[in-house]
Amino acid sequence: MYYTDYHTHTQVSPDSDAPLSAMAEAAIAAGLDELCITDHCDLLELYGQPVDHFDWTPSLQQYREALPRYTGRLNLRLGLELGMAHLNLALSQQILDRPELDFVLGSVHNLCPEQGGTDFYYVDYPDIDACYRALDDYFHSMSLLAVTDFYDVLSHIIYPLRYMDFPISLERYTDVLRTIFRSAAERGRGIELNTWRGRTLNEWLPVLKLFKSCGGEIITIGSDAHSPDGVGKGVQEACALVQEAGFRYLATYKARKPVFHT
């Protein structure tokens, strides 16, 4: 088995203080074969303020310094988690125009600007109706992102559920998810099984099966680790779920092209 973690963050992200070297060492200790660093680039700040630029310098500097140190020990890839790319297509194109870039996670972290643009982490969920209103907004934004070219894999499809303390069913979103997944599959894109550092696993099985029924073939696995102790958490269990859902391969990326592993 080829074990990978394709959703991790370092000190370049505003919510992590981990050096890339510490994440790489943790990946080796966890028995991973490949690690992709996907630091944040969100086109909306936490409370909805638009972002108009991204500085690649810190990401490139630490990646170039680390790469020769791990040759032969760990396949290290440079990725990016690009949030809300559909809000500014020209800026998204500019940000992703980097020859060193291997992989792009497409994320929705925020309510749409018309609803204030707040990150779902900071949204109040006083009752189940508030949860569903937020999810309505979330999946609408994802449907807009899915028809762009500014992602390789759609990230953490069930992201807002992390912060909701109510029993939520995604059954009411089957049709919109089917549309999203078909858009991704038709563009040769995939989805991510995000283990949330080993805390979300079985929740993914119906999502994976729906994606497969829509013609989806590309699956990556990520822990969403923001510190070394989260790297690789849930990856082995996620591999078993992907197989149970009927997929034959897992994907990694090199220069924005998928590489398939049985």
Is the distance from CB of 216 to CB of 13 less than 8 angstroms? Answer: no
User: For residue 259, what are its two tokens?
Assistant: 């590489």
Task: Print the domain residue range for 255.
Answer: 4-261
Q: Is the pLDDT assigned to residue 141 strictly greater than 90?
A: yes
DSSP per-residue string spanning 68-128: GGGTTT-EEEEEEEEESGGG-HHHHHHHH--TT--EEEEE--B--GGGT-BBGGGS---SH
Q: What's the CA gap between 8 and 23, in Å, rounded? A: 8
Residues with Cβ within 8 Å of residue 10, at least 6 apart in sequence: 16, 18, 19, 20, 23, 37, 39, 62
Domain count of the chain? Answer: 1
pLDDT in tens, 211-243: 999 999 999 999 999 999 999 999 999 999 999
Q: Is the pLDDT assigned to residue 177 strictly greater than 90?
A: yes
Across the range 86-97, mean pLDDT stands at 98
How much of the chain, in percent, has pLDDT values that exceed 70? Answer: 100
How much of the chain, in percent, has pLDDT values that exceed 90? Answer: 100
CA angle 40–125–123, rounded 5-degree value: 35
Q: Is the pLDDT assigned to residue 191 strictly greater than 90?
A: yes
Q: Is the pLDDT assigned to residue 1 strictly greater than 90?
A: no
Across the range 90-106, mean pLDDT stands at 97
Across the range 158-178, mean pLDDT stands at 96
Q: What's the CA gap between 179 and 33, in Å, rounded? A: 34
Across the range 167-176, mean pLDDT stands at 96
Q: For residue 173, give the CATH number of its domain.
A: 3.20.20.140
**What is the pTM (predicted TM-score) of this model?**
0.97
